[in-house]
Chains A and B, each alone.
Chain A
């Protein structure tokens, strides 16, 4: 029986299927931009495989985590940049 995992993205609660990556949670929270570039452009995932670094978010206080490669867990706190 597939279960859901509940976490927060910028303080808002989001539920995702077990095994989903943090990138899914950010998308489900309705956010288009995951981070701001050096000149302030909104950016979102590009490669989906951990090499482009556009999907970086803060997870449980740790900055610059590639959200496409981290599995969501209950109670996780995700913060996006701006």
Chain B
């Protein structure tokens, strides 16, 4: 029996790829590191079942031809067409005939004084935690940072009983209005975006506004915000703060996929530079839900040998891509954010390395060796994107394990023999 198509990541792109591949007759294995599928945007909410588009795709991925492996992380690629995955209790190797990388994105965190206090979280971070039961009802929240995600997070928190005090968006109003106008080419999105904003009307949405410091003793108590010449403190229980998204490129890099300007470089069939490997969704470039779905469907059809079905989706993908480009321009990060961290502000949270120590060096590698920033368990996933923005450093460098892994996994499962 031929090896299956393996899809890594059960967010929208991965679900779409798995569903289309299975519908085309292929055997599929769908891996995800969370206990439930859905990725970030369709993260399982412990308080209610999925609805709408999420429900439809989750249902489609329930196809019996798809083996779902949850709580599984790819840690290495030990041999050609082989992945090493680790679960809570064990490890296993999976061989694939084709691979679809749909590893999604994570938030970009920018450091500022006090950002390491408990209850300063990502915007998507607080939403994810709340979806898994974290108590937020009755708690006051400041949502800050950048991007449409802030609106979605504020709405979620608001409808789940949190008191959202305000949304601080660092982009200027004029920038976002351009985005809103750009949305006229995408009517469905305009309504969606306005719909979100409309329901949030009582919550102040302050553009050109960003956090400058978080304060508190042992945990967050208030946030300092700046808007133009004005600065003030906002008392709150939580700060949900994220400055856009960055693609999770570690596994594609480990597999030696070439990168383009925005993420993994792919051709029109979503094929990466490595034969038999496809990439779809945020990992090819941050672009939002519709683009992830279109790319996922194309990758699924293409991997399963259905190029005509894939081609039928090209125009939907093109349209979604234009939307994504407008989005990126509207929410570009402003220069003032580079001045947020003081010399004493920690940038590497794993090793407690302050900005002042790091910025003395001329590049990532030397800073890493001398300060150990980036050498902790997050493997640079938090501090790397921050330093790329703050200092224009290139911070990618990937070796297995792609995520921390148990020693037992690194020891392999078969009897070793010295090579003759």
Residue pair B109, A27 in contact (C-beta under 8 Å): no
Majority secondary structure, A binding face: loop
Choose among B124, B127, B218 the residue that contacts A33 (Cβ–Cβ < 8 A): B218
**Closest beta carbon of chain B to A65's beta carbon, Å:** 8
Given contacts A48-B121, A70-B88, contact A20 B133 (CB under 8 A): yes
Chain A residues with Cβ under 8 A from B44's Cβ?
A: 19
**Contact stretch, chosen from B197-205, B335-343, B344-352, B408-416:** B344-352
Residue pair A32, B119 in contact (C-beta under 8 Å): yes
Given contacts A21-B133, A49-B40, A64-B377, contact A43 B118 (CB under 8 A): yes
Number of A-B pairs, beta carbon distance below 8 Å: 122
| Residue A58 interfacial (CB < 8 Å) | no
Produce 1/0 per residue, B115-151, CB < 8 A to A: 0101111101111110011110000000000000000
Choose among B33, B133, B135, B351 the residue that contacts A50 (Cβ–Cβ < 8 A): B33
Residue pair A51, B133 in contact (C-beta under 8 Å): no
Chain B residues with Cβ under 8 A from A21's Cβ?
A: 35, 129, 132-134
Residue pair A68, B128 in contact (C-beta under 8 Å): yes
Chain B residues with Cβ under 8 A from A19's Cβ?
A: 44, 46, 132-133
Complex CA gap A23/B124 in Å reads 15
Produce 1/0 per residue, A15-43, CB < 8 A to B: 01111110110011000111001110111
Residue of A nearest to B136 (CB): A27
Residue pair B124, A51 in contact (C-beta under 8 Å): no
**Closest beta carbon of chain A to B380's beta carbon, Å:** 10
**Closest beta carbon of chain B to A79's beta carbon, Å:** 17
| Residue B381 interfacial (CB < 8 Å) | yes
Complex CA gap A28/B127 in Å reads 17
Residue pair B33, A48 in contact (C-beta under 8 Å): no
Residue pair A28, B135 in contact (C-beta under 8 Å): yes
Residue of A nearest to B124 (CB): A48
| Residue B400 interfacial (CB < 8 Å) | no
Interface size on B, residues (CB 8 A): 41
Majority secondary structure, B binding face: loop
| Residue B219 interfacial (CB < 8 Å) | yes
Produce 1/0 per residue, A41-62, CB < 8 A to B: 1111111111111101000000
Chain A residues with Cβ under 8 A from B133's Cβ?
A: 16-17, 19-21, 24
Produce 1/0 per residue, B29-54, CB < 8 A to A: 00001110000100010110000000
Chain A residues with Cβ under 8 A from B40's Cβ?
A: 49
**Closest beta carbon of chain A to B147's beta carbon, Å:** 15
**Closest beta carbon of chain B to A6's beta carbon, Å:** 14
Interface size class of A (residues with CB under 8 A): 35 or more
Residue pair B116, A41 in contact (C-beta under 8 Å): yes
Residue pair B129, A54 in contact (C-beta under 8 Å): no
Chain B residues with Cβ under 8 A from A23's Cβ?
A: 129, 132, 134
Residue of A nearest to B120 (CB): A46
Residue pair B218, A49 in contact (C-beta under 8 Å): no
Chain A residues with Cβ under 8 A from B376's Cβ?
A: 53
Residue pair B122, A47 in contact (C-beta under 8 Å): yes
Choose among B109, B128, B349 the residue that contacts A49 (Cβ–Cβ < 8 A): B128
**Closest beta carbon of chain B to A72's beta carbon, Å:** 8
Residue of B nearest to A55 (CB): B129
Choose among B116, B218, B377 the residue that contacts A32 (Cβ–Cβ < 8 A): B218
Chain A residues with Cβ under 8 A from B134's Cβ?
A: 21, 23-24, 27, 45
**Closest beta carbon of chain B to A75's beta carbon, Å:** 16
Complex CA gap A41/B118 in Å reads 10
Apart from A17-B47, A23-B134, A41-B116, list 18 A-B contacts with CB within 8 A: A19-B132, A23-B132, A33-B218, A42-B218, A44-B118, A45-B134, A46-B120, A46-B121, A47-B106, A48-B127, A48-B128, A49-B34, A51-B106, A52-B125, A52-B381, A52-B382, A53-B378, A64-B404
